[in-house]
Amino acid sequence: MSSNSKENVNLNLHDLPRDPDLRTVISKLDPKIQDEVRRAYLQMDWLEYSIVKDATFCLYCYVFREENGSQGPGPCFIGEGFRNWKKKEMLRQHVGGVNSAHNIARRHCKSLINQKAHVATFFFNHSKKIKKEYRLCLTVVIDCIRFLLREGLALCGNNGSQSSNNRGNLLELLQFLVDHNDEIKDLIFNNAPANLQMTSPDIQKQIVSVCLTETSKAIIKEISDSLFSVMIDESHDISIKEQMSVVLHYVDKKGHVVERFIGIKHVIDTVKASLDTLFARH
């Protein structure tokens, strides 16, 4: 990019030049991608060979050459590279002591890689924590709804606001749990994120619908496991519009007579047509 331009650079990290002589100085890249380029190069070995220049280069010193300034005494492993093959000991001389330019650059590289790993680990653990809290919150709400459904009680009241003396069975039951369980207290109502409340009427209806589906599946499976016939008991309520309450009577595989309420179905055309639709769905 132009030295006077600060425009963003689109760069495919997989297409970075491997030959040291073909690379762009990192400081000339867009600052937003410099660290990503460094991390991409650091996946390679630190000692590199350029076919173009027939020379050896130091990746660590290339990555952080601007930060280190002068490379100090010893052969140059950036710029023109090193090609004095008869003096292999110069490799050790380049590496130098603990505070050599090479080792300072190496520590910068290590810190850069560890920083990325630390951030990735943080977000992974954070994500696991959110999932755990979400599952616990959802389980609590589902269990409360299942309890109310089993007892045949309404979920909502006339006023679910904080100022209401009776917010409805579900919210009051959740409040009871909050008052007696600190772990749940941290996830429900005011302590929960706005998108994790799971107490809205729409969410309640969805959970009830899932409970209905699972209950119906369990009943149908119980019937399919038995080898006895099924008798349908139907009744009508035409005070508003024609409806049909469906109750199945059958003998299970243990020989017990069982009666299960399937639900209230609207009769669109005839009772037979509605039953055919019911059986077809299950």
What is the pTM for the complete model shown? 0.43
Read off the pLDDT band of 191 (50, 70, 90). Answer: low
Domain ranges of the chain: 20-113, 119-207, 224-280
- The per-residue pLDDT for range 169-185, each reduced to its tens digit, is 888 888 888 888 888 77
- What percent of the chain is predicted at pLDDT more than 70? 76
Query: Which residues, in sequence order, are CB contacts of 222 under 8 Å at separation 6+?
Result: 252, 258, 260
The pLDDT of residue 272 is above 70: yes
